[in-house]
Amino acid sequence: MRKLRAISMTSLGLLAWTGLAAAATGNEGQTANVPAIAMFILFVAITLGITYWAAKRTKTASDYYAAGGGITGTQNGFAIAGDLLSAATLLGISSLIFAKGYDGFLYCLCLIVAFPVILFVMAERLRNLGRYTFADVTSFRLAQRPVRTTAAICSLTVVICYLIAQMVGAGQVIKLLFGIEYWIAVVVVGVLMVIYVTFGGMLATTWVQIVKAVLLIAGGTLMAMLAFAKFGFSFETMASQAAAVRKGVNILAPGVMFADPVSAVSLALGMVFGTAGLPHILMRFFTVPNAVESRKSAFVATGLMGFFFLMIGLIGLSAVVLVGTDPQYFEGGTVGGKLIGGGNMPAMHLAHAVGGNLLLGFMAAVAFATILAVVAGLALAGASAISHDIYANAIKRGTATEADEVRVSKISSLGLGVLAVILGILFEKHNLAFLSGLTLGIAASANFPVLILSMYWKGLTTRGAVLGALVGLISALALVICSKAVWVTVLGNPTALFPYEQPALFSMPLAFFVAWLASVLDHSPAAAAERAAFEEQDVLAETGFYKSSAASA
Amino acid sequence: MSTEIYQKILRNPRYAELVGRRRRLAWLLAGSTLGTFFSFILVVAFKPSLLATTISSTNVTTIAIPLSVAMIVFFWVLTGIYVRRASRDFDGLSDQIVREARQ
């Protein structure tokens, strides 16, 4: 017992202990998957090793927030792809394709379109104008306090919504795959997330993400190819068999899933521009040394995601045949009934169908690893918003020492970890389908318009930036609350006040309009100075001359 | 010091050339990406039956599938074009402009 306690002092031991203890008792009739647990513990050991290595190299604020700007473009490309390829992508999109066919694949298209746009109009400018958070860019020539505070509020809202969705998903997936209790799974994710972020900062968070991205892409490709081989690598054979399984709906064509055209367009807008406004993605462009590497990271990320999404398409469609006709994957053996483990499980069942328990174990461990890596990135983005934007620049007005700033960031990441665990446990039984739309809707409406205007429009003033972001945030929030997913499903009202499912089509143009209107109506001397300062900002954005002068000086 | 550098850069005629060429390329590529994608989304939203056409009378595969794959490849190729053009045409010019301004 003493020995056991000594082992459990380290988080790895603690994790192994809780995992195995829960597995041994086999709670709630779930069976533990031994290869999954072994591979997961191996992953955790590697990532803790990375964190230890990174902690020794993380000394300054720049190390902590941006890995000292020492990540290469290729590495950053993997990390960005890793951030977007969450467990929701692997499990959620493949299950959408399994259930609805082609429409599920549209999500992949929406996610990938964001990256060329980020590359062409944002990546180099972000790198040249910002240091740690995207608010560095929006507040570059505007009043620091109001603009940073607003940006931090919007970032934190996005981060917390995203974290809740990840935590609840994590708890449910881990409970199923590993046979450990929901709350233990959520606590384990929270503890590891805080360890990575607090001790290893951006360097550890980036490398955890890279390791996971490699594992996820390799595992996904292996699974897709094993499944595709069952159809002799013929898409037509697979498609015709899948179509035969799903009689009545054409799963190979769009139009099954979207209730109305407006919601479809709104969803696409929100996903594309929301992705381009996600604080943890934008933050990655500060971890590379210069604009050249920043471009390369967007190129690599686009290629990796495009490739992985094709694999997801194969996984989803082949699962229709390989999982959807096999009674062992359905409750009570009724083909076409409820899938064992729920609607998100087709990819996991497919892993079992094509690679047995070993591949299932591997993919389960990868899914867990994915959740860990994504929540760590989110926590770091949230903690940076608190420490860099609110504490160091809004409260201390730039007079805080680096050590204090990093300390506040570490405390914030601990706070976010505790909050995420509590909210994750509170929301276990809730229907959180609205969260993904809300998160991307807010990012598209509150972050993206102000960011793009601050980089390209001379006329943007502090008043415009603050009001535009706040109106974007509030309108996206209000529209989601009034939509069916919250007003009817969560709050139990008979009919929705807002007839569409996604807010972005309305809230994003509104945010642009308000930012424009408030700016042009602002005749204060401060606003005039802000407009005059655009020219210098623009030259810096185009050439990065501060940084190139620092490099050669 | 930095104000002086930026004004020198701004006065350099090659700066206007750099910015003009890079912006034209960036907006052209961004426009192609978003234009292609949102045209496709509008068809999905308003006339999905158009995409339900099969690639030939003997196949079940619809044109939506090769079109989607082609779009993914197209977007990636566009990012490749931008990265290539930027390092070939713009980086040298940009470095030169900054160097001249610092003299």
Note the pLDDT tens digit of each residue in A164-180: 988 988 888 888 778 88
What is the rounded distance in angstroms from the CA atom of residue A335 to the CA atom of residue A328?
A: 8
Query: Cα-Cα-Cα-Cα dihedral of A390, A394, A395, A401, to 10°?
Result: 80
pLDDT of residue A553: 30
Look at A253 and B62 and tell me if their CB atoms are within 8 Å.
Answer: yes
Which domain range does residue A100 map to?
29-426
pLDDT digits (tens, 9 = 90+) for A491-512: 888 888 888 888 999 999 999 9
Distance CA A33, CA A13 (A): 18
As a whole-number percent, the residues of chain B with pLDDT over 70 amount to 98
Phi, then psi, of A429 in degrees rounded to 5? -90, 5
Tokens 């996984």 correspond to: A315
Cα four-point dihedral sign A128, A131, A133, A136: negative
pLDDT at residue B72 in the model: 96
Tokens 């968070």 correspond to what residue? A205
**A234 to chain B nearest CA, in Å?**
11
CB contact under 8 A, B40 and A109: yes
Beta bridge partners of residue A330, listed in sequence order: A339
Is residue A141 one of the residues assigned to a domain? yes
Residue A150 lies in a domain: yes
For residues A439-467, b (16+ Cβ closer than 10 Å) or e, as one string? Answer: bbbbbbbbbbbbbbbbbeeeebbbbbbbb
Taking the C-alpha atoms of residue A78 and residue A213, their distance in angstroms, rounded to an integer, is: 6
DSSP for residue A369:
H
Residues 6+ away with beta carbon under 8 Å from A367: A87, A90, A91, A173, A177, A348
Amino acid at A2: R
pLDDT tens readout for residues A38-47: 888 899 999 9
Residue A139, Ramachandran bin (φ over 0: left; ψ between -120 and 50: alpha; else beta)? alpha
Residue A253, SS3 per DSSP: coil
Tens of pLDDT, residue by residue over A299-320, are 999 999 999 999 999 999 999 9
Q: Is residue A145 in a domain?
A: yes
| Chain B residue numbers touching A141 (CB-CB < 8 A) | none
A7–B contact, CB cutoff 8 A: no
Banded pLDDT at A547 (limits 50, 70, 90): low
**Quick one: CA dihedral A55, A59, A61, A63, positive or negative?**
negative
Q: Does A121 touch chain B (CB under 8 A)?
A: yes
C-alpha gyration radius of chain A: 23
User: Does residue A22 register a pLDDT over 80?
Assistant: no
CATH of the domain at A181: 1.20.1730.10
Nearest to B79 by CA among A114, A79, A451: A114
Q: How far does CA A229 lie from the centroid of its chain?
A: 31
In a domain, A195, yes or no: yes
CA distance A67 to A78: 15
pTM equals: 0.90
Q: What is the pLDDT of residue A551?
A: 38
Q: The dihedral of CA A340, A342, A346, A348: what is its sign?
A: negative
Q: In the prediction, which pLDDT does A31 show?
A: 57
Would an 8 Å CB–CB cutoff place A401 in contact with chain B?
Answer: no
Q: Which helix (H) or strand (E) holds A532?
A: helix A525-532
Q: Which of B33, B41, B94 sits opposite A117 (nearest CB)?
A: B33
* Angstrom distances, CA of residue A333 to CA of A326, A327, A381, B39: 8, 4, 45, 43
In this prediction, residue A514 has a pLDDT band, given cuts at 50, 70 and 90, of very high
Q: Give yes or no for B102 touching A (CB within 8 A).
A: yes
Which residues in chain A are contacts of B86 at CB distance < 8 A?
124, 292, 295
B33 at A interface, C-beta within 8 A: yes
Mutation target among B72, B74, B81 for the A interface, most CBs of A within 10 A: B72
Please report whether residue A17 resides in a domain: no
What does the alpha-carbon distance between residue B52 and residue B48 come to, in Å, rounded to a whole number?
7
* Cβ A161 vs Cβ A438: under 8 Å: yes
Report B:41-70 residues touching A (Cβ under 8 A): 41-42, 44-46, 48-49, 51-52, 59-62, 64-65, 68-69
Handedness of CA A167, A168, A169, A172 (dihedral sign): positive
Q: What crossing angle do the helices spanning A182-229 and A291-322 adopt, rounded to 10°? A: 80
**Higher-scoring residue by pLDDT: A56, A546:** A56
Compute the C-alpha angle A340/A172/A428, nearest 5°.
125
* DSSP output for A472-515: HHHHHHHHHHHSIIIIITTT--SS-SS-SS--HHHHHHHHHHHH
Q: Is A111:A268 a contact under the CB 8 Å cutoff?
A: no
Quick: pLDDT tens for A418-428: 999 999 999 88
A194 in a domain, yes or no?
yes
Chain A residues touching residue B88 (CB < 8 angstroms): none
For residue A484, what pLDDT is reported?
85
Give residues 2 to 21 of B whose Cβ lies within 8 Å of A. Answer: 2-3, 5-6, 9-10, 15, 18-19
Residue A99 to residues A93, A243, A252, Cα–Cα distance (Å): 10, 12, 12
CB contact under 8 A, A545 and B51: no
Q: How far apart are CA A51 and CA A106, in angstroms?
A: 36
**Rounded CA separation A276/A122 (Å):** 9
% residues pLDDT > 70 (chain A): 92
Q: With CB atoms and an 8 Å threshold, state whether A115 touches B82.
A: no
Residue A7, pLDDT > 80, answer no
> For the stretch A478-507, what's the b/e string if a residue is b when 16 or more beta carbons lie within 10 angstroms of its beta carbon?
ebbbbbbbbbeeeeeeeebebebbbbbbbb
What does the alpha-carbon distance between residue A116 and residue B82 come to, in Å, rounded to a whole number? 9
> Are the beta carbons of A100 and B48 closer than 8 angstroms?
no
Provide the Cα torsion B6, A527, A507, B44; round to 10°.
Answer: -30
The two structure tokens encoding residue A264: 């479809």
Please check whether residue A239 is in contact with residue A107, taking contact to mean a CB–CB distance below 8 angstroms: no
Whether A202 is covered by a domain: the verdict is yes
| In chain A, residues 246-305 whose CB comes closer than 8 Å to chain B | 250, 252-255, 258, 261-262, 264-265, 268, 272, 292, 295-296, 298-299, 302-303
CA distance A334 to A470: 50
Q: What pLDDT score does B2 carry? A: 64
Integer Cα distance of A393 and A388 in angstroms: 6
Strand-pairing partners, residue A339, are A330
Has residue A153 been placed in a domain? yes
Q: For the residues A111-119, what does the mean pLDDT come to?
A: 92
Domain count, chain A: 1
Inter-chain contact A116–B52, Cβ cutoff 8 Å? no
* A336 to A330, A343, A444, A481: CA distances (angstroms): 7, 12, 38, 33
**Measured between alpha carbons, how far is A499 from A90 in angstroms, rounded to an integer?**
30
Distance CA A434, CA A430 (A): 11
Q: What is the mean pLDDT of residues A93-113?
A: 89
